[in-house]
Structure 1
Amino acid sequence: MSKKRFQMPVAVHLLLTREGKILLLRRFNTGYEDGNYSVVAGHSDGNEDVKSAMIREAREEAGIEITPNNIQFASVMHRKLDDERIDFFFAADSWEGEIANMEPEKCDDLSWFEIDNLPYNIIPYIKQAIENYINGVQFDIYGW
């Protein structure tokens, strides 16, 4: 009798920065953290590496193209809230195209914020990940 192995979702998050600012989106009508700011993010669809998943999510959510050479690993977070997840954070400061809200049914604001003066209504683990990025912390455990 074989026992099913534990599996957890893999999420990817993009820290888009420009001139000391970071791009944040406010979640809307999703059922998760609505009204709070996050970054461009999503999940691996399976059969794709995490960098490819991040590039796909950047296109789907912000309408931009990022090449694999322009996206850099920032950190990984093992996170536990209602469930357990692995979050990969990537950073980019160059891309092709104009940033646009490609999912207005899930996002009601897409704005640049000073990276050291984030809005009060940012999702806490996202705030932690941004602080980790600023401080060069590449691994974190959150919510345990």
Structure 2
Amino acid sequence: MSGERYRTLSAVFPVIFREKDGKTEVLLARRMNTGYMDGLWDCAGSGHVDEGETASQAVVRECLEELDIAVDPESVTFAHLCHRLGLNGARTYYDLYYHVTTYSGMPHIAEPDKCSELQWFDMDSLPPDTIVLRREALAHIKTGCPYSEYIVDAKVMQG
């Protein structure tokens, strides 16, 4: 085995549901000016896990920063893990999805320089311009599947 150990990044994705007219809706945000998947729909309140914090703490922090809602830490429960393996220069991540069930405040865009829209969508009819990985993770969450893997190849992404 060679010198330095393999290191990855971690990102959190709050899955905020509501029931409306007998249907389950999920809160999504349209990314803007982030350098990653700008213009596409993503889980609202998503972000990186910072050094020295747990993934569930990151969910609470990101929801406050991006949505201006105070999440009850006890309501943050694990939903899904996706190991996103990066090849040819793409980054490898552990994407951690958490159900967020209890919060105070009304979600709104608190970082208008990074998000252009915030909207609730029926889980059964997500917009076509939802990030593919998020669409797949939400489908796994809906069926109760706790783990998935996805390979991202930078060469393929570049053309």
- TM-score, with length taken from structure 2: 0.86
CA offsets 1:42-90 (integer angstroms, 9 cap, x no match):
1111111111011100101111111121111101110124221101100
Question: Hey, what does 2:126 align to over in structure 1?
Answer: 118
Alpha-carbon distance in structure 2 between the residues aligned to 1:106 and 1:80: 25
SS in structure 2 opposite 1:56? helix
Alpha-carbon distance in structure 2 between the residues aligned to 1:85 and 1:65: 26
Alpha-carbon distance in structure 2 between the residues aligned to 1:43 and 1:31: 14
Q: Is the 8 A contact 2:72 2:102 kept in 1?
A: no
Match runs of 1:88-103 below 5 Å: 88-103=96-111
Supply the AA of the counterpart residue of 1:18: R
Alpha-carbon distance in structure 2 between the residues aligned to 1:85 and 1:12: 10
Match runs of 1:1-144 below 5 Å: 3-19=3-19, 20-39=24-43, 40-81=45-86, 82-143=90-151
Deviation of 1:141 (Å): 0.6
Higher strand share goes to which structure?
2
Deviation of 1:143 (Å): 2.0
Alignment RMSD (CA, Å): 1.3
Alpha-carbon distance in structure 1 between the residues aligned to 2:33 and 2:107: 21
Q: Which runs of 4+ in 1 moved over 2 A?
A: none
Q: Give ranges in structure 1 of 5+ residues lacking alignment.
A: none
Deviation of 1:93 (Å): 2.6
Supply the AA of the counterpart residue of 2:16: L
Supply the AA of the counterpart residue of 2:72: T
Alpha-carbon distance in structure 2 between the residues aligned to 1:135 and 1:79: 20
Deviation of 1:21 (Å): 0.5
Aligned residues between the structures: 143
Over alpha carbons, which structure has the higher Rg? 2
Deviation of 1:94 (Å): 2.4
Q: Is the 8 A contact 2:9 2:93 kept in 1?
A: yes
Alpha-carbon distance in structure 2 between the residues aligned to 1:80 and 1:6: 12
